[in-house]
Amino acid sequence: MLLAQKPSLQEEIQAILKGKKATVGIAAQVLGSQRSFSHLGKQHFPMQSVFKFHIALAVLHEVDKGTWQLHEPIAISRRQLLPNTWSPMRNDYPKGDTIRLTLAQIITYSAGQSDNNACDILLELLGSPSKVTDFLHKKGVKDLAIVASEAQMHEAWDVQFKNWTTPEAAIQTLKLFYEKQLLSAQSQDFLWKVMLESPTGAKRIKGLLPKGTKVAHKTGTSDRNAQGMASAVNDIGIVLLPNGKALAISIFVSNTQESDETNEQIIASVAKACYDYFSR
């Protein structure tokens, strides 16, 4: 009797994406090997809050240079805590004209809880979003651009598309981060813990993986336009496989007319297919 062959990863991904009203970019690589997968991997996708990972890298690079210290207090004025945006930090500190948080706390709010105000405070410290782009370009990650803050992205729909990366460039960035080629060991360990403990996107990369799987990741989510289309439902991260290897994965669901639940299900299903395939 002939045993049925398991479908290839490409076939599994095609089955997941079949009929979906969305453009989906995917890249995955087992770090330290040539085992990889790419679907629209060189196409530009809007990052949304995924860029908070990249911003954290640039800020921590400055920490490593001695520009700042993680535990030094930073004064935050009330004007920096915009009211009509996602900001757990603002909600945690509703009173007072000025609050003081450590740089570590601000990075944790931004990269961990995806706080928009914390993100823009970090960009103010850096001086410009272009500092993030320049830092990563110098490290060899060419296929990305970060030019606008969260506040600027909220001003007009088209602005978000100026902050872009390719799925393959996202993998390249994750790889450099995981292999400690961007940051000191101390800074890498700090950011790894922040991303590992992030409460956002529980139904995305993590959604269908075995309970207890370690996933250090960063999500990104857009609003919807007047036609009901979402420009971005994203998740990128590093998944630890049962064999001890690390799988870097980036999934960008763009220009989607699917429901929020379906968009997250796409990401979870793609992540599970990659997890299963690369665990064999």
Handedness of CA 115, 147, 168, 23 (dihedral sign): positive
Q: Which of 33, 36, 38, 49 is catalytic?
A: 49
Question: 256 phi and psi, to 5 degrees?
Answer: -100, 140
How far is 210 from 191, CA to CA, in rounded Å?
23
How far is 278 from 280, CA to CA, in rounded Å?
5
Nearest to 252 by CA among 16, 22, 19, 15: 22
How far is 48 from 150, CA to CA, in rounded Å?
8
Where residue 75 falls (left for φ over 0; alpha for ψ -120 to 50; beta otherwise) is beta
How far is 72 from 67, CA to CA, in rounded Å?
11
How far is 150 from 216, CA to CA, in rounded Å?
22
Percent helix / strand / coil, the chain, rounded to 5: 45, 20, 35
Alpha helices in the chain (DSSP H): 9-17, 51-65, 88-92, 103-107, 113, 116-126, 130-138, 150-155, 167-178, 185-196, 260-279
* Run of H or E residues at 156: none
Quick check: is 49 catalytic?
yes
Question: 231 phi and psi, to 5 degrees?
Answer: -80, -25
Q: Which residues are catalytic?
A: 49
